Structure formats: C-alpha cells, structure tokens
Structure 1
Amino acid sequence: MATLIPENFETVAPTEAEALLARESSRLLAAHKIGTRSSVRIQLLDDGEEAESLAVPASALRLFLHLLTEMSQGNAVTLIPTHAELTTQQAADLLNVSRPYVVKLLDEGKIPSRTVGKYRRVRFDDLMAYKRKDDEARANVLDQLTAEGQELGIGY
C-alpha cells in the first residue's frame, strides 16, 4: 500500500549552530568505517542517565551520515519513502516546475500516475526516475552545444 505524503511533511532546515554540529558529527561518524556490515551497534547517552546500547542497520547509519552531511552544508532535508505518493503540487515542487506542467507530463504518460477519486498521485520513485532521465537528456544537449561551440571557435 502506498503512503501519501501529507501536505505538511517535515523539512528540516538547519540553523547555523545545527549546521556546525552536523559538520562535526558527520566528520566523526565518517571516520568510522561501516564497511559491508549488516548492522552497527551504537550507544545513546542522555544527561544523567545510563548509556543505552542498540543495534541499527548499517544502511540506516549511512543514510544518517548523508543527512548530517547535507545539514552541515546548510541544506534543508526531507526524508521521503520511495513508495510514497505525492500530489501533483508536491511533484511540481520537487521538480521545481509548475503544477500544470506536471499534469501535462502525466497526460503524456512521461510520468506514471494513478487517480484517487478526482486527484492524481505520483509515486516518488517514478518522479525521481523521470528526473534522472530528464537531467541526463539536458546534460547530453549541453555537451552537444559545448562541442559545437568548440568546433565553431566561439570560445566557451
């Protein structure tokens, strides 16, 4: 069953102090080689309480490291499950285009979608697959333009 991302899904925009803390934390965490282990044991320390040890999937710790790295650069971060369904407005926001343009892409079948009542839903992974293809096509066109500019001696 697909998960619908609520309109107010949480995006964390780090403060300057949080970005500095994330930078230091990511540096320390990156120094520990996670390797190909399936799980990692970590310890939680709380003020005045006894340390608690727990095992977490190594993949979750790698994801946490990516999250810290992005926060350390001051980037806002949102965690979205790949199977989550987005509204057309959320899809447009992620692609940085207008909602009518996303609807056009859905009508043309360039992005798969399903209808729930009178509303359309787009799976996050389908949206990201479209974005990857579109970014690749744009990069190819840019490479061609650059090559033509070189051939013509335009001086890029």
Structure 2
Amino acid sequence: MHTAITSQPLPSAAEAALARESSRVLSACLQTRSDAQQIELHDEQGATHPVRVPVSALRLLLDVLTEIGAGNAVSIIPIHAELTTQEAADALNVSRPHLVRLLEQGDIPFHKVGTHRRVRYQDLMAYKQRIDAQRHEALDALAEEAQRLGLGYD
C-alpha cells in the first residue's frame, strides 16, 4: 500500500488557539481507565450524533491538538505505510540521492515495485532512531572531552 505524505499548511493563530483550548479539555476527559469514550458531534442542522471512540484514538487526537496548538503542521502516517524515495528523503530531511545511497549501502531496508524503490515507514523510523542515538553518543563524548580539557563548559 502506498500512502502519500503531503505537506500540511501551518495552522492559523485562531486554529492554534482553538487546538490549545480543545487539548486542555480533552486531556482532562482522558483521565480514565476505560477502553472507549463517547463524544458528541453536532451537524449543521443542530442534530447530535453520539460516537464511541477508542481512548487510544483520542490520545492520538490529543497529541495532534497539542502540536497544532504549538503552531506545528501535522501529518499522520500509518506504521505499515510504504514510502517513495522522495517521501522517505523528505521525512529524514535529506536529499533523495543521499537517501538512495543509504538504501544501496544497506543502512535502510527497501524493496522494489517494478523499478521503483519503496521504504517501509517503520524501517525509516528505526534508522532515524539508530542515527539519533549515535549522534547523542558523539555529542556526549565531545562534551566529556571538553570538560576534561577544561574548555569552559561547566
């Protein structure tokens, strides 16, 4: 299955404010041990429609509202999604040729659909976590060395 990642516009100031307010209310309502909550939606005619929603979905909605409230655009990608090389490069914020090199070196698993490479989203995120951990280790080592040499980082 192919899932497109589309760039989302940044929320307006009014949308961000509404998201902050909504996230506060939703957060208070999610202090529950139940598996589902019932919410009510109102249509244009004023009719109320009760909807049972899994708490896990409401927690995800809370995360989305929190990000929008902070002024960030949000995209949701299924974990099993397959990305094109351009989508994967965009997700890592690298060039497509660099991503293709990572794929060909075996750093990130991929498969081909015809002549096109596809990358599973969860494989891409596993690579990102590995690389981020390596960066943190390198930064810690540099900070430790700076401390040892007394370079003024107290």
Q: TM-score, normalised by structure 2?
A: 0.93
Aligned to 1:4: 2
Distance 1:66 1:19 in 2: 13
Distance 1:130 1:154 in 2: 33
Matching of residues 64-143 of structure 1 within 5 Å: 64-143=61-140
Distance 2:71 2:52 in 1: 29
Q: Contact 1:12–1:78 at 8 Å: present in 2 too?
A: no
Distance 1:34 1:58 in 2: 10
Q: Contact 1:34–1:58 at 8 Å: present in 2 too?
A: no
Identity of aligned residues (%): 51
Measure how far apart 1:48 and its partner are: 4.0
Distance 2:21 2:125 in 1: 30
Q: Contact 1:34–1:40 at 8 Å: present in 2 too?
A: no
SS at match of 2:152: coil
Aligned to 1:30: 27
Q: Tell me: CA distance 1:144–1:10, structure 2 relative to 1, closer, same or farther (3 Å).
A: closer
Q: Which runs of 5+ in 2 are unaligned?
A: none
Distance 2:33 2:125 in 1: 26
SS at match of 1:75: coil
Query: Which runs of structure 1 show a deviation greater than 6 angstroms over 4 or more consecutive aligned residues?
Result: none
Q: Is the aligned partner of 1:43 residue 2:40?
A: yes
Name the aligned partner's letter for residue 46 of structure 1: D
Q: Contact 1:18–1:72 at 8 Å: present in 2 too?
A: yes
1:45-68 C-alpha deviation (Å, 9 max, x unpaired) = 235422111101110000000000
Distance 2:134 2:46 in 1: 55
Q: Which runs of 5+ in 1 are unaligned?
A: none
Q: Contact 1:112–1:122 at 8 Å: present in 2 too?
A: yes
Measure how far apart 1:117 and its partner are: 0.9
Measure how far apart 1:109 and its partner are: 1.0
- The alignment covers a number of residue pairs equal to 153
Q: TM-score, normalised by structure 1?
A: 0.92
1:13-68 C-alpha deviation (Å, 9 max, x unpaired) = 21111001001100111112343321111111235422111101110000000000
Q: What root-mean-square deviation, in Å, do the aligned CA atoms of Structure 1 and Structure 2 show?
A: 1.4
Q: Tell me: CA distance 1:36–1:106, structure 2 relative to 1, closer, same or farther (3 Å).
A: farther
